[in-house]
Amino acid sequence: MDQLSVSPETAESLKNLSQKDKQELNQFIQNEGQKAQIQATVHSLTDTCFRKCITSKISSGKLDRSEEPCMQNCVDRYMDANLTVIRHLEQMRHS
């Protein structure tokens, strides 16, 4: 969630929002931020795993019997690897 440019009128009326509205808006923006983060990760994972799993010539628009599990494994293994990295970094920090 990068910049959000609002009109001067909107910016002005934001000041007059009730506490409840402000909280609601805050929560909403946080949620949207998390969703955007998830989307970005899915894009990145698809990018990487597509390269690893779809290696033969593309003839159909569906994932075949080996490609589908490969994509799923790719996501799972990537997350395992991510955990490994974090754990290892923690170890390095404490030694």
Partner 1 sequence: MADAKTAIMDQVRQQAALQNARQLVEKLNEHCFERCVPKPGTSLSSGESTCYTACMEKYMAAWNTVSRQYLGHVQKGVGSGGGFGGI
Terminus-to-terminus CA distance in the chain, angstroms? 37
Neighbour tally for 30: CB within 10 Å: 11
Interface with partner 1 includes 90 (CB under 8 A)? no
Task: Tell the smallest beta-carbon distance from residue 94 to partner 1 (Å).
Answer: 17
Q: DSSP class of residue 15? A: T
For residue 16, give the 3-state DSSP assignment: coil
Residues that bind partner 1 (CB under 8 A): 1-2, 4, 6, 10, 13-14, 16-17, 21, 24-25, 28-29, 31-32, 34-36, 38-43, 45-47, 49-51, 53-54, 58-63, 67-68, 71-72, 74-76, 79, 82-83, 86
